[in-house]
């Protein structure tokens, strides 16, 4: 069952795609008119736009909630072909139903069912305008898949920031960073084999995505068996960061049987948490990425490396816990001051424990 945040994010994507369908409906009506000059006299733009909105919501909803994840383990080319095929069949069925409903509404009742069916096929389905409609909607279906894939690439809000050019120029921001990686990853890979281990990584990152989205986190990058997550540095987001750890633990407890059956081991993880200033901006020409730079990331990575050394699964810096009251369900115990490579001053760190 998806969380409320994940559900609303998917609904948000579907509604945005539906709006794009409505905007394109005006252009497509012009294309259809070019093929069939009399079509505008028989059909209203308002109905045309509403029909596109309804079909857009159905098609985008099917993509966002079902088809996008149904073929995720297949090669991208095969997944795209299958999704396009199912999407085309879906919007063909929906289009026929919508147009048939419109035809019924327009019909004055003077024809028998056989005559009515014959006229519907001849005057609607076999017309050049309906063929053009299918071509246009095929393009929109492909565009919908493309938007969903780009949204997955850049994460919630990422596509909007890219379009707005928010990070085209470097910006200074204060962020929370959480570096998380799998415990004993080398031993697990040797035990189950590298190919099976990669499949486990795939499942691990897929399963951990929902807690990230539901706590408003942003996935910065994946590095081997590590994922780097960040939030804007606010007290509310600090609580969300800790809630992410709780939700992530719950996910893997619930999926214990699945991982044991598939891989013979259930992955556990450790995490280092820190907060501070970073510089953010897009880099790259033929492959553009959002990059965070600064000592904050280096320190977070070193805090995470201390987890194994100090035998604590979660360690946070004083910079993260400053002016923040640890929420119910967690306990923070001071470990002491530590030196971190590259920093002149020692810094206090704390172990975090779920209670």
pLDDT digits (tens, 9 = 90+) for 97-111: 766 776 666 665 555
- pLDDT band at residue 22 under the 50/70/90 scheme: confident
Give pLDDT, residue 224.
87
- List Cβ neighbours of 119 (8 Å cut-off, separation of 6 or more): 111
| Range with the poorest average pLDDT among 142-146, 180-184, 240-244, 247-251 | 142-146
Map tokens 């005057």 to a residue: 123
- Nearest of 101, 17, 29 to residue 62 by alpha carbon: 17
From residue 165, alpha-carbon distances to 10, 59, 161, 256, 260 in Å are 23, 29, 6, 42, 45
- Nearest of 20, 17, 40 to residue 30 by alpha carbon: 40
| Range with the poorest average pLDDT among 49-58, 279-288, 331-340 | 49-58
CATH superfamily placement of domain 169-354: Nucleotide cyclase, GGDEF domain (3.30.70.1230)
The DSSP 8-state label assigned to residue 266 in this structure reads -
| CA atoms of 227 and 260, how far apart (whole Å) | 22
- pLDDT band at residue 1 under the 50/70/90 scheme: very low
Instruction: Please report, for the chain, the start and end positions of each structural domain, with discontinuous segments joined by +.
Output: 4-154, 169-354
- Residue percentage of the chain with pLDDT more than 70: 81
In a 13 Å sphere around the CA of 89, the CA atoms on its Cβ side amount to: 6
pLDDT digit string, tens, across residues 171-209: 999 999 999 999 999 999 999 999 999 999 999 998 998
| CA atoms of 316 and 233, how far apart (whole Å) | 14
What mean pLDDT is predicted for residues 37-60?
66
Give pLDDT, residue 95.
67
- 140 burial level (CB within 10 Å; 0-12, 13-18, 19+): buried
Listing DSSP states for 294-349 in one string gives SHHHHHHHHHHHHHHHHT-SEEEEHHHHTT-PPPTTEEEEEEEEE--TT-SS-EEE
| CA atoms of 122 and 148, how far apart (whole Å) | 36
Round the average pLDDT of the chain to a whole number and report it. 82
- Within 10 A of 97 (CB to CB), how many other CB atoms are there? 13
CB 349 within 8 A of CB 315: yes
Going through the chain in order, the beta strands assigned E by DSSP cover: 171-182, 218-223, 226-232, 269-283, 289-293, 314-317, 330-338, 347-354
pLDDT digit string, tens, across residues 204-235: 998 998 899 889 899 999 988 999 999 999 99
What mean pLDDT is predicted for residues 36-43?
51
């Amino acid at each position: 069952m998806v969380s409320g945040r994940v559900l609303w994010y998917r609904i948000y994507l579907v509604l945005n795609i539906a709006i794009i369908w409505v905007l394109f409906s005006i252009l497509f009506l012009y294309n259809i008119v070019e093929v069939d000059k009399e079509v505008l006299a028989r059909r209203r733009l308002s109905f045309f736009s509403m029909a596109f909105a309804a079909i857009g919501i159905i098609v985008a909803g099917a993509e966002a909630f079902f088809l996008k994840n149904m073929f995720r383990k297949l090669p991208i080319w095969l997944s795209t072909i299958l999704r396009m095929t199912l999407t085309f069949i879906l919007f063909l069925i929906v289009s026929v139903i919508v147009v048939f409903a419109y035809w019924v509404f327009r019909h004055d009742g003077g024809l028998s069912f056989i005559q009515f069916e014959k006229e519907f096929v001849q005057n609607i389905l076999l017309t050049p305008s309906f063929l053009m409609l299918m071509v246009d909607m095929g393009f929109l279906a492909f565009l919908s898949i493309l938007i969903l894939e780009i949204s997955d690439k850049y994460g919630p809000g990422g596509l909007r920031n890219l379009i707005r050019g928010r990070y085209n120029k470097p910006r200074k921001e204060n962020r929370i960073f959480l570096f998380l990686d799998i415990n004993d990853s080398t031993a697990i890979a040797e035990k189950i084999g590298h190919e099976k281990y990669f499949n486990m990584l795939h499942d691990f990152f897929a399963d951990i995505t929902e807690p990230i989205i539901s706590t408003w986190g942003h996935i910065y990058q994946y590095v081997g068996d590590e994922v780097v997550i960040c939030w804007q540095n606010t007290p509310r987001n600090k609580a969300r960061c800790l809630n992410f750890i709780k939700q992530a633990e719950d996910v893997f407890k619930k999926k214990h049987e699945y991982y044991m059956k598939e891989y013979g081991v259930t992955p556990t993880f450790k995490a280092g948490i820190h907060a501070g200033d970073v510089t953010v901006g897009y880099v790259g020409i033929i492959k553009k990425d959002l990059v965070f730079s600064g000592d904050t990331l280096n320190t977070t990575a070193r805090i995470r490396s201390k987890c194994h050394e100090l035998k604590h699964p979660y360690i946070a810096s004083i910079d993260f816990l400053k002016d923040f009251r640890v929420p119910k369900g967690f306990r923070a115990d001071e470990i002491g001051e530590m030196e971190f490579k590259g920093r002149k001053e020692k810094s206090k760190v704390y172990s975090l424990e779920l209670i």
